[in-house]
Chains A and B, each alone.
Chain A
Amino acid sequence: MSDVKKFLYLNRRAPYGTIYALESLEVVLIGAAFEQDVALAFVDDGVFQLTKGQNTDGIGVKNFSPTFRALGDYDVQKLYVERESLEERGLSEDDLMEVVYEDEDDDWEEKPAIRVISRAEMADVMADADVVLSF
């Protein structure tokens, strides 16, 4: 396809308390059907969306974090997480859940989808995208 655009879904907010995080994920899943080049970015409180061991029993909403692990099935293979945002919240890469995709060009080998990058690298990722959708 000649007119594939690079879509970047930028997630800045905590997973619960507002509807932004869940809506972003829904848009990603719907948009994935259009076979564009899709990447997700997590900065600021958005990094909490990928933390492991989420439990929403106490707040009466659905824990949608397992759905991130289905993104590989939707051919979404790039989840960029800003290192500075993690550090500012006392988090590290070890606090994030494991998300993998299967590389079609490498005998379906499972590879990690989450890439922790620096703030400067994140700026490049954003500049490189044709469309940035901020949630």
Chain B
Amino acid sequence: MAYEVNGTTVEHDEEGYITNLSEWTPELAEVIAKAEDIEMDDERWEVVNFLREYYDEYQIAPAVRVLIKAVKKTMGPEKGNNKYMYELFPYGPAKQACKIAGLPKPTGCV
């Protein structure tokens, strides 16, 4: 199973998470988002970029509760709440945004 980006293929697992994290590109993010039926806009990119920075710093993809708390801390309560985050990523802010961000499935996500 693989995504197609500009003529190259990027392998992913049965749930759609890419297997080699270093193969991620912003173009790939758009492709994954499309497969998830999500249109990327500035708000969604803000979350995806936030997750990539979080992974870079802590080496984990945070659980949804932790993600929302961290967003609240850095972007404010109008964004760091369940309603806003689930509107952006209806099938789970952590699960879907991590997939688009090219990260592993969130730790503590069942």
Q: Please tell me if B83 contacts chain A, counting CB pairs below 8 Å.
A: no
- B108–A32 contact, CB under 8 A? yes
Encode B73-90 as 1/0 by CB contact (under 8 A) with A.
000000000000000000
Taking CB atoms, residues of chain A closer than 8 Å to B107 are 26, 29-30
- Interface assignment of B38: CB less than 8 Å from any CB of chain A: no
Which residues of B lie under 8 Å from residue A64 when comparing CB positions? 59
CB under 8 Å from chain B, chain A span 72-87: 73-74
CB-CB contacts of A27-71 with B at 8 A, as 1s and 0s?
A: 001101100000000000000000000000000001110110110
For B64, the closest partner residue in chain A by CB is A33
Q: How many residues of A contact B (CB 8 A)?
A: 14
Query: B63: nearest residue on chain A (CB-CB)?
Result: A33
Please state if B63 and A29 are interface contacts (CB–CB under 8 Å): yes
Per-residue interface assignment for chain B, residues 45 to 69, with 1 indicating a CB less than 8 Å from any chain A CB and 0 otherwise: 0000000000001111011011001
CB-CB under 8 A for A70 and B108, given A29-B63, A33-B63, A33-B65: no
The answer, among B58, B65, B70, B108, for a CB contact under 8 Å with A30, is B108
Q: Which residue of B has the minimal Cβ distance to A70?
A: B58
Least distance between A94 CB and chain B CB atoms (Å): 23
Given contacts A73-B62, A73-B66, 17 further A-B contacts (CB under 8 A): A29-B63, A29-B107, A30-B108, A33-B65, A64-B59, A66-B58, A67-B59, A67-B60, A69-B57, A69-B58, A70-B58, A70-B60, A70-B62, A70-B66, A73-B69, A73-B70, A74-B63
24 A-B Cβ contacts within 8 A? A26-B107, A29-B60, A29-B108, A30-B107, A30-B108, A30-B110, A33-B63, A33-B65, A33-B108, A62-B59, A63-B59, A64-B59, A66-B57, A66-B58, A67-B59, A67-B60, A69-B58, A70-B60, A70-B66, A73-B69, A73-B70, A74-B63, A74-B66, A74-B108
